Amino acid sequence: DAGVIQSPRHEVTEMGQEVTLRCKPISGHNSLFWYRQTMMRGLELLIYFNNNVPIDDSGMPEDRFSAKMPNASFSTLKIQPSEPRDSAVYFCASSLNRGAQPQHFGDGTRLSIL
Amino acid sequence: RKEVEQDPGPFNVPEGATVAFNCTYSNSASQSFFWYRQDCRKEPKLLMSVYSSGNEDGRFTAQLNRASQYISLLIRDSKLSDSATYLCAVNTDKLIFGTGTRLQVFP
């Protein structure tokens, strides 16, 4: 079975550029989560969707970050403009429902902003 | 106080040792609990869910103590391959992860 699929796996870009991260959740899962992981702050929840609707975006650090889920099989996380402090690993995860069931993670996107 | 707290370690143990990690949580309304394992430069992977009555999966035992608001993970007969970071996750209306406990098993 296909797991959560993220792209790209690695992204290196210069500050000020727009960055778009993509995620395809596990088929049938109705909750999708975007996380950011750094050594200093650990794994932080940025935003999550339930049935394609954003439920909680309180973890989104700034207006430079935005996320969309236009349908049940696709989500994007966009950073515009990007800054060096955005460098981190960004994970997407999905679950059957947001609470009782565990989340399954994609391989992550390793983002470096120069 | 953080919502979910773990001792960051590292825990350095010899092969064959028994090691235990605790994870405390602050929200008494938390409903579900999990342990994840994360290898270096990899994604977190579900190790096991934690049930109220406690549960075991081979060498791994997870327990929940609602009165004291903590969950634990016990690893018996440690293997070199158990070396990783172990993250606890606690769910109320969303899943909150601890910062992880680093385990290093040496020969």
* pLDDT tens per residue, range A47-77: 999 999 999 999 998 899 999 999 999 999 9
Sign of CA dihedral A2, A108, A81, A12: negative
Task: Indicate yes or no: CB of A43 within 8 angstroms of CB of B49.
Answer: no
Residue of B nearest to A110 (CA): B41
Match 């935005």 to its residue by tokens. Answer: A66
Which residue of A42, A99, A107 is in closest CB contact with B91? A99
| A5 in contact with B, Cβ within 8 Å | no
Identify the segments of chain B with pLDDT beneath 50.
none
Give which of A103, A31, A12 is closest to B38, Cα–Cα.
A103
CA pair distance A50, A30, nearest whole angstrom: 6
Question: What is the arithmetic mean of pLDDT over A10-38?
Answer: 96
- A48 contacts A33 by C-beta, under 8 angstroms: yes
| B77 to chain A, closest Cα gap in Å | 26
Which residue of A42, A56, A99 is in closest CB contact with B32? A99
Task: Give, for B58, the enclosing helix (H) or strand (E).
Answer: none
pLDDT, position A61? 87
Tokens read off for B18: 């028994």
Mean pLDDT of all residues belonging to chain A: 93
pLDDT, position A110? 97
- B105 contacts B13 by C-beta, under 8 angstroms: yes
Q: Which amino acid is at A32?
A: L
